[in-house]
Structures are given as C-alpha cells and as structure tokens.
Amino acid sequence: MEFILVTPQAQPHVALIQLNRPKELNALNLQLMGELRDALKELDENDEVRAIIITGNERAFAAGADIKQMAGKTAIDMLNIDQFSTWDQIRKTKKPIIAAVSGFALGGGCELAMTCDMIIASETAMFGQPEIKIGVMPGAGGTQRLTKAIGKAKAMEMVLTGKFMPAEEAEKQGLINRVVPVELYLDEAFKLAAEIAKMSPVATKLAKESVNRSFETQLDEGLHFERKNFYLCFASEDQTEGMNAFVEKRAPEFKGR
C-alpha cells in the first residue's frame, strides 16, 4: 500500500486507515481508491475487527479526487475507468466506518466522509463540494447524500457555489455527529468505535444494513442519475478549461460549451 496506512488492531477490535498523500492534501487518485477498497474488504473479512476509522491528517481529510489525474480525461475515458465500481465496493462494507475528519473534506473527500457511517470532525474541518468551480459536478454521491443530510436549500447552495461549510455549521445541519477540538478528533473517533465494538458484531452489521436501507432504493436511483450527468460534464470544454485552470493555478474562463 503506497497511499494509505492500515493498522488492523489500532485498538482492540478497531482498525485505522490513514489516507497518506499529505503533500497533495490526500487527493484521491485511482491507486489510493483501489488501495482503500482492498483494505476495507480485508478488514471486513477479518473477524478481529469490529469497527473501522478512516482519517487523513490535521490539514486535510481529502481535498477531492485528483484533479491532475482527471484533467485530460474524456467522458469515454471516465466511463472506461469505471471508478464507480470501486466506490460501490467501499459502500458495501458491512462493518461500521467512522470518518475522523480534520481540515479539508472537499469534493470526493466530502463524498468519502459521507459514504462512511458517522463523521467526527475537528473544529478546523471544512466540508464542501467545489466541483462546480472546475467545470464539473459531484460524481460520487455528493448531490444525493448531502441533500439527504442537510436538506435541499443548503445542499443546493453548496453544490452550486462550491462554498465550504465549517465543522460547527456542519454539526448544526446534521452532516456530522460532533465537532471537537483538533487535538481530540481522533481520540473521539476511537471512543465511539470502542463503544460500537463492545456490541454484538452480528447485530451491528444487521443494524447498519437496516439504517442504510431506509433510503437505499432512492439512493440507487439518485446515484445512477448523478453518474450520467457527471460523465456528461466530461464531454464539455468547460471541464477541460476548469481542471486545466486549477492545474495551471489561474482562474477559469467558462464558455458554456
């Protein structure tokens, strides 16, 4: 594993996965996502593990999918790469996953945190779906999960303006479980994981599956819709312009083509 660190028994029955591309603010490239998928599958099959924590570092949980890797892609490239199967497998993890978030949780980073079952944040955490600023839209569930978590008006504003939501507001809006001082966010995640790890692993898995079931059919349909529109963004010149502008550190000039 090059881009994640996995500790299967960070505490009794609790595994820790740390995203580890600190210089790139843990931008989620394809390799990192593949490693994360494989690690979660292994931990899900490991009887000693009852809860899993995913974290980044103090500055960033993850600043999104790797824009440098995506910038030159066409809609057909995106279709052929089929990152969605990786995200789908992550979503199918049966054991509870807690995201311990500090700093940036943006784009795919925010979507990854929302794919987890609970979110503990440090007071410096910032959540956002800024894809619109680089000429695309959320592609890994952001339009669906964010809307379900914080409601249409707030989600619409975040998705259409790319504005970030600080941890305190995210707690008020119900996006996260709680916010704690930065030096405590990982401890707090471990405390929650330890509490869950005391319960019956069978009942825990069944309960997680049941809570998720409450919106699953609707979510499947919503994700399908989002994916089609996400691919379509890659057929636009604005996507190329938006992502190249990020890489070249300049403001984009969108033309609506």
Residue 213 in the binding site for ligand DAK (CB under 6 A): no
**Active-site residue, from 15, 27, 35, 111:** 111
Residue among 4, 10, 14, 27 that touches ligand DAK (CB under 6 A): 27
Residue 131 in the binding site for ligand DAK (CB under 6 A): yes
- Sheet containing strand 178-180, edge to edge, reads 4-11, 14-19, 51-55, 97-101, 118-122, 178-180
Is residue 111 part of the annotated active site? The answer reads yes
Taking the mean position of all CA atoms in its chain, how far away is CA 180? Answer: 20
Question: Using CB under 6 A, which residues numbered 49 to 68 contact ligand DAK?
Answer: 63-68
Taking the mean position of all CA atoms in its chain, how far away is CA 95? Answer: 17
CB 96 within 8 A of CB 204: yes
Single-letter code of the amino acid located at 242 = G
CB 168 within 8 A of CB 77: no
Question: Using CB under 6 A, which residues numbered 147 to 206 contact ligand DAK?
Answer: none
Residue 39 in the binding site for ligand DAK (CB under 6 A): no
Does residue 10 sit in helix, strand or coil?
strand
The 96-115 site mask, x for binding ligand DAK (CB under 6 A), equals --------x-xxx--x----
Residues 6+ apart with CB under 8 A from 81: 30, 73
CA–CA gap between residue 229 and residue 233 (Å, rounded): 6
Is residue 65 part of the annotated active site? The answer reads yes
**Active-site residue, from 64, 103, 107, 108:** 108
CB of 63 to ligand DAK, least distance (A): 4
Q: If you search the block for the tokens 């580890």, which residue do you land on?
A: 20
Residue among 6, 132, 134, 146 that touches ligand DAK (CB under 6 A): 134
Residue among 6, 32, 55, 87 that touches ligand DAK (CB under 6 A): 87
Does residue 136 sit in helix, strand or coil?
coil
CB of 24 to ligand DAK, least distance (A): 4
Looking at the Cβ atoms of 15 and 136, the one nearer to ligand DAK is 136
Is residue 58 part of the annotated active site? The answer reads no
Task: Say how many residues touch ligand DAK, by CB under 6 A.
Answer: 23
CA–CA gap between residue 231 and residue 32 (Å, rounded): 21
Give residues in contact with ligand DAK (CB under 6 A): 24-25, 27, 63-68, 83-84, 87, 104, 106-108, 111, 130-131, 134, 139-140, 230
Query: Active-site residues: which are they?
Result: 65, 108, 111, 131
